[in-house]
Structure 1
Amino acid sequence: MGFFSRLMFRVTDSVSKRQIEAGGGGRRWDGTPLLGMPQQSALAARGVTKARATGLYINTPYGNRLVETWVAALVGKGWQTRSKHSDSAIRRALNEAFEELANPILIALARALVRDGEAFVQIIIEETGALRLKLIPADQVDASLSRELGNGARIVAGVEFDASDRVVAYHVLREAPGAPFAVFGQALRIPAADMLHVFDLLFPGQVRGLSWLAPVLLKLADRDAASDAMLMSLKTQSLITGFVRDPEGGAAGLDGDTSGAAINVALEPGAMRILPPGADVTFSQPGQGLAQAVDFLRAQDREIAAGAGVTFEALTGDLGEANYSSARVGLLEFRRRAEMLQGALIRAQYLRPLWRRWIDTQALAGLIPSDAGALADYHAVRFVAPGWQWVDPQNEVDAEVAAIAAGLKSRQEVVAGRGRDIDELDEEIAADARRAAQGGQE
């Protein structure tokens, strides 16, 4: 090879190394899944993914654990409503009434959100003007209904859009598929104002939600099958105690119960047998390789936990390798993600729009003032997410007290982080002080 040829080879080789490997070819990419149209792929996979997630949630320990871990993180001991109305009596009445309306279905909503990938809540106005909430199964919103409506309007998987891509209605079957005595007919058109659709938007333009277990469904199924196979193998091996080999074709002088051509010989503690020359006994060794298999399953558990967004300890309940520092780091990362989803899903897609619709309905019914200034006062609200339990209460409290003293945090921030409202807390502290003062006077 001449100098020019060697130079060209080096230049070509250097250029090839500077290419973006993720967009290149080669055998290493063979079999790698591609998702060129994620919106359409999510719609196509939604139904099967939901059915598989439901099956694994019901039938496998880890599938159930993943869903319930996320439900507990999103809902916890419950959300608190804090109206910002200037009148304290009205504020308290609004808080209690709304919590009584919104909280009863919150656990079921979160469970559907995680397991099915989406939750639908229908807002029904009773004859009295009161609101009633009805949780709609995801399959009841007709995913098979997609068509053009003209002038840019369309229906995609049961969700109707106008020409400006705004959701204007949902097309809901009269009964959920598979319900007893279900009567199928034309889907009912429910205005978007009467329906809350809660789901995590993975891709721009996504219409329906995808189960949160989608990244780990296959591994969950394989992991459960592997665990069952190990258990069955261990049970099968333990049924066979030993094998007797006799060159004479007999029982090597051993007595036992005859069952067809086989002789079942029971061994007693301390018993000794003298075998004829050439005869021998070998015993099965159940559990061989079990330790390596357990280590492999633990590695699978870590992948499942990572794919589902929870910690290994939260998935398995195994705290053997955890210490204070590692537990805290893992929990902080999980809590950041949970708080992000709490705000984007529970607060923004469920509580806030429901509060606004509830206030507007009360104004139309004449239960509260309907002028713009008064409505603005009634619309003002904030929602307090459930707080988190501490890993080490003393260290956590000391750190928060120091942060408040140094001006790095406010009392309101610390109290809100524990899932409490500072006004309510101050009222309780004042009530305790009054009781203590009355007791001292007595």
Structure 2
Amino acid sequence: MTFMSAINRILRPASKRSGIEAGGGGRRWQGTPMLGTPQQAALGARGPAKARAAALYLNTAYGNRIVEAWTSAMIGRGYQARSQHPAPGIRRRLNDDFEAMANPILTPLARALVRDGEAFLQVVTEDDGGLRLKLIPADQVDPALTRELGGGARIVAGIEYDAADRVVAFHVLREAPGAPFSTFGETVRVPAADMIHTFDLLFPGQVRGLSWLSPVLLKLRDRDEASDALLMQLKTASLITGFVRDPEGGAAGFDDGASGAQVNVSLEPGAMRILPPGADVTFSQPGQGLAQAVEFLRAQDREIAAGVGLTFEALTGDLGEANYSSARVGLLEFRRRAEMMQKNLIEAQVLRPLWRRWIDTQALAGTIRADGADLADYRHVRFVGPGWAWVDPRNEIEAEIAAIGAGLKSREEVVAGRGRDIDDLDEELARDASRAGEGATA
């Protein structure tokens, strides 16, 4: 068999591939993980992933940075409620009261959402008709409680569904696991109307959330250990060790000092030492390969950043290789994803249900007198998320002004993008104009 015929024989199977490789077999696919039932796999991995993410959040710099970066991106300085009630005085009162109630809980809620993969907010009605928000640890909604209730109803990981797959209740342990005097196994059934459950749905039919750190948990652990190993290597490199060798296998003229023949070979600045005949000195070099190791760690940092949806600069704080264009492109991509999470998780799953429950509770308590169309006016609301800082304020402001002038954006949209309420801004501008007019008159 000639050399070329052998090569053609090896390549022939590759040239005749058919079908979809992703569903094929062969040695290249051996050991590849598969998720036949991702809903069950996510539910089974939830507990270990949550516990590992909590440990890495508290014990590693990057684990903490991932959680805090996503929390600040989604929540920032808080959300502004913009009631659409026709009466200005009522709008202002509703906005202020709701923001005072909701904004303090949003930061720990978002932190739990990223770190644990889900957040539970219990809405408690006080005797005076007011609402109290209570953040529930994820494991307090009993993940071990799963059983059939009959007629198509069931409880899955502490969440109760009816026959139509609607969430009707949550089964909550009286005390959080690990709390003093906690009693495990005894749960309280909390109606779904009194609980807000938010998580990022990865697969249809998923019941509980999965930590956002899950794609990088193992790599984060390995990266932290590698960093510690390099630190120990640097410490070792600062300890220069010398080895004196005698080709004849003797002591190279050194002894215990009893005969006075001991030679001083200690290292001192500017010192010159004479060794006995035949002695040879070599030194250890423990610091070799550090430069390559540092570059490898930077590559690992990029993988970790990609796995959690952050830019390399946002994860590491290293801006040495960033310029205006690259920083802007990276930030725009990150902002699109963050705005998606703001809209679909914080606003849709938390703020809007909470506003509706708050308005209905006030109507039942008589705090607001509304029914029918009037109640619809109270329920109508918009939310303004936190704004974004500019990379280049001058160029971006000029671009926004041009977009408003061309009719591509409204002034309200631009103001909302900065995290401001246009009504508040207009009032401030009116006050400034009034003060300027009074100063000119004086």
TM-score for the superposition, normalised by structure 1: 0.93
Instruction: In structure 1, list runs of 5 or more residues that go unmatched.
Output: 1-8, 257-261
- 1:371 counterpart residue number: 371
Counterpart CA distance in 2 for 1:196 and 1:266 is 70
- Aligned residues with identical type, % of pairs: 74
Question: What letter corresponds to residue 321 of structure 2 in structure 1?
Answer: E
- 2:250 counterpart residue number: 249
Question: What letter corresponds to residue 232 of structure 2 in structure 1?
Answer: M
Question: What letter corresponds to residue 413 of structure 2 in structure 1?
Answer: E
CA shift for structure 1 position 13: 5.3
2:122 and 2:135 in contact (8 A); partners too: yes
Counterpart CA distance in 1 for 2:406 and 2:375 is 40
Matching of residues 183-332 of structure 1 within 5 Å: 183-246=183-246, 247=248, 249-250=250-251, 252=253, 266-332=266-332
1:159 aligns with 2:166: no
Q: Which moved more, 1:268-277 or 1:107-116?
A: 268-277
1:57 and 1:115 in contact (8 A); partners too: yes
1:253 and 1:275 in contact (8 A); partners too: no
1:75 and 1:386 in contact (8 A); partners too: yes
2:263 and 2:275 in contact (8 A); partners too: no
CA shift for structure 1 position 175: 0.5
- 1:53 counterpart residue number: 53
SS in 1 for 2:121: strand
- 2:180 counterpart residue number: 180
CA shift for structure 1 position 214: 0.3
Counterpart CA distance in 1 for 2:86 and 2:199 is 34
Instruction: In structure 2, list runs of 5 or more residues that go unmatched.
Output: 1-8
CA shift for structure 1 position 277: 2.5
Counterpart CA distance in 1 for 2:91 and 2:323 is 44
Deviations 1:57-85 (Å, cap 9, x if unpaired)? 00000000001000010001111111111
- 1:3 counterpart residue number: none
Question: What letter corresponds to residue 361 of structure 1 in structure 2?
Answer: T
Counterpart CA distance in 2 for 1:241 and 1:41 is 52
2:252 and 2:279 in contact (8 A); partners too: no
2:252 and 2:276 in contact (8 A); partners too: no
TM-score for the superposition, normalised by structure 2: 0.93
- 2:352 counterpart residue number: 352
2:243 and 2:283 in contact (8 A); partners too: yes
Question: What letter corresponds to residue 439 of structure 2 in structure 1?
Answer: G
Deviations 1:45-68 (Å, cap 9, x if unpaired)? 000000000000000000000010
2:77 and 2:386 in contact (8 A); partners too: yes
Counterpart CA distance in 2 for 1:354 and 1:297 is 44
1:114 aligns with 2:123: no
- 1:20 counterpart residue number: 20
Counterpart CA distance in 1 for 2:221 and 2:15 is 44
SS in 2 for 1:123: strand
CA shift for structure 1 position 239: 2.5
Matching of residues 50-129 of structure 1 within 5 Å: 50-129=50-129
Question: What letter corresponds to residue 83 of structure 1 in structure 2?
Answer: S
CA shift for structure 1 position 230: 1.3
CA shift for structure 1 position 179: 1.0
SS in 1 for 2:378: helix
Question: What letter corresponds to residue 301 of structure 1 in structure 2?
Answer: D
Q: 1:173 to 1:263 in 2, by over 3 A?
A: farther
Question: What letter corresponds to residue 224 of structure 1 in structure 2?
Answer: D
Counterpart CA distance in 2 for 1:55 and 1:61 is 11
Counterpart CA distance in 1 for 2:64 and 2:373 is 48
SS in 2 for 1:239: coil
Question: What letter corresponds to residue 414 of structure 2 in structure 1?
Answer: V
- 2:414 counterpart residue number: 414
- 1:361 counterpart residue number: 361
Paired residues in the alignment total 429
- 1:438 counterpart residue number: 438
- 2:399 counterpart residue number: 399
CA shift for structure 1 position 196: 0.3
Counterpart CA distance in 2 for 1:205 and 1:264 is 77
Counterpart CA distance in 2 for 1:353 and 1:252 is 87
Deviations 1:187-245 (Å, cap 9, x if unpaired)? 10000000000100000000000000000101101111111111112222323432222
SS in 1 for 2:124: strand
CA shift for structure 1 position 251: 6.0
CA shift for structure 1 position 268: 0.9
